[in-house]
Amino acid sequence: MKIFRKPIFTGFAPNLAKSDAWIAASFLLFPWKWFQLKIGKNAVRAEQWLKNYFSVKHCFVFDSGRSALYFILKSLDLKPGEEVLLQSYTCVVVANAIIQAGGKPVYVDIGDDFNMDLADLEKKITPQAKVLLIQHTFGKPANLDLLLKLAKKYNLFIIEDCAHALGIKYNGKLLGTFGDVGFFSFGSDKPVSCGRGGAVVTNDDGFAEKLFEFQRTLPSAKLGKVLQHLFSFIIFFISKPVYNLGVGKCLLWCAGRLGLINKIIYPKEKRGRAVKFYPSLLVNSLATILLNQLRQLDVFNNHRREIARRYQEKIENKKIHLPNQEWGDVTWLRYPILIAEPERLLASAKKDGIILGNWYDVPVAPKDADSSVVGYQPGTCPKAERLASQSINLPTDISISFKDAEKIIKLINYF
Ligand SMILES: Cc1ncc(COP(=O)(O)O)c(C=O)c1O
C-alpha cells in the first residue's frame, strides 16, 4: 500500500542522519550542554577544517550563505549605483544581500548548463560594474576560464557563489578558490547542512581583515532561533520515514504552526526585506553538526555522482531533456531535467510518494518572492525564464538509495 512506502524527497533536510539528530538532541537534553548551545570551540574548528580543506589562508563562518555574501559585499564598500553582475536562475536571498550591502543587482542570462552566459554578461557590463558573482548552479562548475578572463578585462572583483558546490574541482582545483573570494552555504538543502550556516574563504589578507572585523562585532543568534534549528533536526528525523502514513505530515504541520521548525526563507525576505534576527554568528551547536557533516563530504559527493550517473544512463523518456553528457562527471547537488509542463510530472510523482524538486521555477526563486523589488525585469533573461518554466530536479543525496533512484527512473520513463 502506498502509505507504507518509503517516501522519497528532494528537499526536506536531505543530508540529515541519525548522528546529526542525536547531536541536536544532546544539546537540548543534557543541561551541561546548554552552556555550549551558542558558545564553544566548534565554529573556530569548522573554520580550521575549511581552511585546511581549501588550503586557504582565511575562513570565516556566518549564520548563512546570504550573510556571508552580505559581509563580502560590505567589505567592498560599494558606492550607490555600483553594480554587481549575477546570473538569473538564482535565489532571491542572493539579490537581497547585494541590495542590502548597497549594490545594484544586474541580472545576466544563463546558458544550457544553468550557469552564466558569457555573451549576455559582456553585453551587460557597464562602467558602473564592480563585482562579478559567479554561481556554480547545482554543482556544475561555471566556465571559469572565460569568466575570469572577462572579469580581468573589466577589472571586476570576483566572488564565487559555491552554495551548490562544496568539494568540487575545476581543472583539478577546488571551486571557491578561483575568485578573489568564495562563499558556501550549509543550509538544509545544500551539499552539507547544519540547518543554517555559511562560510567565506579567501587568500586576500586585507580583505580578510575587514571580514574579521565584521565577524568580531556580530551578535550570536537568538536562543529561540538556535532551539528552532535543533528541534528541526529532530522533527525532520522523526517525520520523514512516516510521512506517507500521514503522521509525519501531521507532525511537520503541527511543528510548523508551533514555530518549532525554522524557515529557509522568511516572508519578509521574499519581499526584499531583511529579518531582524540575522545576520549573526554561527553558533557552537550548529557548528558541531556542521563538523559532523563535513567529515562525510566525500561520501556524500561520491554518492551524488553515482546516483546522477544512473539517471544519466537510464532515463530514456524522449519528452525529458537531460544534462549534456559532454559536461562529464558532475557532482550534481540536484540532477536537473527539463520537461514541458513540469507541474504534471511533479504531481504524478507526488501521487507515488516521490517529491521532486522545483529549483528554480522562476528566474529569481522562489515563485512567491517578489522579484520586482530585487530589480529583476521580466524579459531581460529569456533563456533563464524558459529553462525555469521547464525545470525539475531529481534527488542525489545520501538518503536516496539505488532502489529509490530506480523508482524515480521508472516513474520518469513511464511518464
Ligand atoms: C545559488 C545560491 N546562492 C546562495 C544562497 C544563499 O545561501 P543561504 O541559504 O545559506 O543563505 C542560496 C540559497 O538558497 C542559493 O541557492
pLDDT of residue 165: 98
Please give the DSSP secondary-structure letter assigned to residue 190. Answer: S
Residue 1 has pLDDT above 60, yes or no: no
- How high is the mean pLDDT of the chain? 96
CA 277 to ligand 1 centroid distance, Å? 17
Report how far residue 209's alpha carbon sits from residue 57's, in angstroms, rounded to the nearest whole number: 12
pLDDT at 314 over 90: yes
> What one-character DSSP code corresponds to residue 3?
G
**Each residue of 133-185: pLDDT tens digit?**
999 999 999 999 999 999 999 999 999 999 999 999 999 999 999 999 999 99
The two beta strands, 198-202 and 181-185, are antiparallel
Whole-angstrom Cα distance, residue 179 to residue 56? 12
Max Cα distance, the chain (Å): 62
- pLDDT tens figures, 18-44: 999 999 999 999 999 999 999 999 999
- Ligand 1 centroid to Cα of residue 116, in Å, is 16
Q: Which amino acid is at 48?
A: Q
Question: Does the structure show a pLDDT above 70 at 68?
Answer: yes
Bigger pLDDT: 296 vs 259: 296
Residue 229 C-alpha cell reads as 534549528
Mean pLDDT confidence for 90-118: 98
Q: Where are the alpha helices (DSSP H) in 322-364?
A: 342-351
Answer for the pair 74, 84: CB distance below 8 angstroms, yes or no. Answer: no
How far from the centroid of its chain's Cα atoms is residue 110's Cα?
18
Question: Which percentage of the chain shows pLDDT scores above 90?
Answer: 92
Taking CA atoms only, the protein residue closest to ligand 1 atom 2 is 163
The pLDDT assigned to 9 comes to 94
Residues 6+ apart with CB under 8 A from 364: 88, 90, 91, 92, 95, 107, 371, 374, 376
Distance, in Å, from the CA atom of 178 to the CA atom of 167, rounded to the nearest integer, reads 13
pLDDT score for 302 = 98
Strand 58-62 and strand 104-108: the pairing is: unpaired
Kindly indicate the confidence band of residue 386, based on its pLDDT and cuts at 50, 70 and 90.
Answer: very high
- Mean pLDDT over residues 6-19, rounded? 92
Neighbours of 220 (CB within 10 A): 17
What CATH number was assigned to the domain covering residues 297-414? 3.90.1150.10
Are 163 and 199 in contact by the 8 Å Cβ rule? The answer is no
Residue 3 has pLDDT above 70, yes or no: no
DSSP state of 352: T
Q: Whose CA is nearest to atom 3 of ligand 1?
A: 163
Judge whether 42-216 and 297-414 match in fold.
no
Domain boundaries, given as residue ranges, for the chain:
2-34+221-294, 42-216, 297-414
Mutational pocket test of ligand 1: of 94, 107, 188, 364, the residue with most ligand atoms within 8 Å of the beta carbon: 94
**Res 47: pLDDT:** 98
Within 10 angstroms of residue 291's Cβ, the number of other Cβ atoms is: 18
Residue pair 46/290 in contact by the 8 Å Cβ criterion: yes
Kindly give the distance from the C-alpha atom of residue 90 to the centroid of ligand 1, in angstroms, as a whole number: 8
DSSP H helical segments within 168-221, as ranges? 205-216
* DSSP class of 357: B
* Model pLDDT, residue 2: 64
Reading the block at residue 170, the C-alpha cell is 575545476
**Amino acid 245: pLDDT:** 82
Residue having the nearest C-alpha atom to atom 13 of ligand 1:
91
187 CA closest ligand 1 atom index: 10
**Is 258 in contact with 173 (CB distance < 8 Å)?**
no
| Predicted local confidence at residue 197, as pLDDT | 98
Whole-number Å distance between alpha carbons of 100 and 274:
8
> What single-letter DSSP state applies at residue 131?
E
CB 163 less than 6 A from any atom of ligand 1: yes
Nearest CA to ligand 1 atom 10: 65
Q: Evaluate the omega torsion of the peptide bond into residue 105 and state whether it is cis, within 30 degrees of 0.
A: no
| Residues 342-352: tens digit of each pLDDT | 999 999 999 99
Task: Tell the residue nearest (CA) to atom 4 of ligand 1.
Answer: 163
Q: What is the pLDDT of residues 281-291, one digit of tens each?
A: 999 999 999 99
The CATH architecture one would assign to domain 42-216 is 3-Layer(aba) Sandwich (3.40)
SS3 call for 373 = coil
Return the C-alpha cell found at 337: 531535467
387 alpha-carbon distance from chain centroid: 19
Residue 339, C-alpha cell as written in the block = 520537461
How far does the centroid of ligand 1 lie from the alpha carbon of residue 91, in Å? 6
Q: What is the pLDDT of residue 247?
A: 85
For the CA of 183, the closest atom of ligand 1 is 4
pLDDT at 244: 81
Looking at residue 5, what is its pLDDT? 72
Specify which residues 62 forms β-bridges with.
Answer: 198
Residue 4: the pLDDT is 64
